[in-house]
Amino acid sequence: MVWLMVTKGLNVDKCKGMTFTSNITKDTSYNVNIKESIHNIQKVDCIKDLGILIDSQLTFKDHIQAKINKAYIMIGLLKRNFINVDCKTFISLYKALVRPHVAYANSVWSPYKKVI
């Protein structure tokens, strides 16, 4: 397949390929010709783009788990460093430091496993 793409500035080491399919077999391979040498594009099952972990099945399980883990880390940090704060201050800290991690890109995965 010719993409008519100028490959002068293409960094093959940073390129990754992923196939979105419900089939189990993923036997496609992609190659790039640069200066008469063939470079294989690495195949991955999960890739991070703009802070969102996307897997080949589009389930977002890895993204959700990563965000939950980050939120637990931030809650542990709050509990460890802000022991003697009142409830109102703790809620403000929670809203400022924990909730943004959970809410980031929630429009992508928000109706998780919703059946129509």
Q: What is the pLDDT of residues 20-75, one digit of tens each?
A: 877 666 667 788 777 778 888 888 889 998 889 988 888 888 888 999 999 999 99
The Cα 94–Cα 87 span in angstroms is 10
* Mean pLDDT estimate for the chain: 82
Which spans in 1-116 are helix H? 61-81, 87-97, 99-103, 106-109
112 or 109, greater pLDDT:
109
pTM listed for this prediction: 0.71
Angle, alpha carbons 24-50-101 (nearest 5°): 100
Rg (the chain; Cα; Å)? 21
Give the pLDDT of residue 106: 83
Of residues 46, 41, 44, 43, the one with CA closest to residue 59:
46
Sequence-distant (≥ 6) Cβ neighbours of residue 57 within 8 angstroms: 20, 22
The Cα 80–Cα 60 span in angstroms is 30
Q: Which of 2-6, 11-15, 68-72, 79-83 has the lowest mean pLDDT?
A: 2-6
